Structure 1
């Protein structure tokens, strides 16, 4: 009978331990950045994860690398939500379910969002969203319009704006589930109806300018945290 080499078992255990530590670090970083924003350090993340500082620095040379990993993890989660909710459902059910799950994922992530968009690699992270998430979201919106469920004047950039609005409810009230009430009110307004009145005002005509404005807003928030007012 063929036996596994002890050295191979040890290497496998080390790989499993390393992956477990990496997951712990990313989970801890999400909570730390959510609470502290840009002020958070890798030392803070290590303490929250319950691992040694050296363990964090062996995997992430600096905070930017850790934010990259967090962002990649978030994009993976959003892609998974899109994959799971779209098949086998009518477009409206898929759209409303997807939006609710994504909002749930990001409900309390203002600090993390500011770090992601407002630091050095914000534009590259934005491009990842555009290339990996936007096409599937756009197809879902178009399906809902084609099926007559979604008002035809809805635009792709309405979805991230809705996420920002919903997240603001959590940020300003601290209520863990209040955002669900207002998301359902918004969803009700997105439905196409025979008695629908005028078109939505102020359509978004320059998506790149809107993105740049969001990034600039995040960067300003980070600068204000770094240099608080003495007043």
Structure 2
């Protein structure tokens, strides 16, 4: 629920590739060393997310190691370069958003979800609006702030491009469901929804509890606005953001 969670960014390609971990890959329960390795990765990646969200991609690997409470050599054994770590973070963040989007529509959660506690959260956020469930889950479950600025200098890979396409498909399905039911305007787009995710969950300098309270309040106002616009489209002018526009907002041009 980047920042954020990493968002779908179109940036200059790199030869490095991120290890694959899609929602489908998490269906079988892990045991023994595999579970321990997964848990250790989560600790490291969460620490890296927090450091990069606060300091940007320029933050040194030593800062990540210190925040995670491990030696820097341990990071380089897992990720040979900083680019590899960045790619892993971005792919994982995208997969988490995809997982939440699919679960918001179907109510089905993998046995070993990428987001711990997702199954219980899905049950707690029952409702007929898939978009509302998706946004509520993101606000309460996201493992890092989804901040646009901190992700602008990110690299990309074929895997991340594939993740981006899967995310759009998942969001399109959510929106189609809600548009047919009259919960969102007919011209509401996947890019509109992702822009809402960014604006509804900024990184606030306060306690987690208070930040969640503020985010939830703003979400309620946002959902009321969507419902009102669905009933009376003329309330809002202009056209929805396109997916290409969303990608372009995060594009890093290759200066070489």
**1:48-197 → structure 2 map (5 Å cutoff):** 48-87=67-106, 91-92=128-129, 94-104=130-140, 105=142, 108-110=145-147, 113-121=148-156, 127-168=161-202, 170-171=203-204, 176-177=211-212, 178-191=214-227, 196=232
Q: Secondary structure at the match of 1:39?
A: coil
Which of residues 50, 56, 65 is equivalent to 1:37? 56
How much has 1:79 moved relative to structure 2? 2.4
Q: Where in structure 2 are there 5+ consecutive unaligned residues?
A: 1-30, 108-125
- Which protein, 1 or 2, shows the higher relative CO under an 8 Å CA cutoff with sep ≥ 6? 2
How much has 1:69 moved relative to structure 2? 1.3
For the aligned residue pairs, the C-alpha RMSD in angstroms reads 3.1
Number of equivalences:
201
CA pair 171-97 structure 1, distance change in 2 beyond 3 A: same
Q: Secondary structure at the match of 1:203?
A: coil
CA pair 106-124 structure 1, distance change in 2 beyond 3 A: farther
Matches of 1:103 and 1:38, distance apart in 2: 23
How much has 1:18 moved relative to structure 2? 4.1
Conserved? CA contact 1:81–1:98, under 8 Å: yes
Conserved? CA contact 2:185–2:230, under 8 Å: no
Give the helix-richer structure, 1 or 2. Answer: 1
Matches of 2:230 and 2:50, distance apart in 1: 45
Q: Where in structure 1 are there 5+ consecutive unaligned residues?
A: 1-11, 220-231
* Deviation digits for residues 80-116 of structure 1 (CA, Å, limit 9, x no counterpart): 2123322266651x22011222244277342xx4443
How much has 1:201 moved relative to structure 2? 1.7
Which of residues 236, 241, 250 is equivalent to 1:200? 236
How much has 1:165 moved relative to structure 2? 1.6
Q: Secondary structure at the match of 2:234?
A: coil
Conserved? CA contact 1:117–1:125, under 8 Å: no
2:47 counterpart residue number: 28
Matches of 2:99 and 2:165, distance apart in 1: 15
Conserved? CA contact 1:95–1:140, under 8 Å: yes
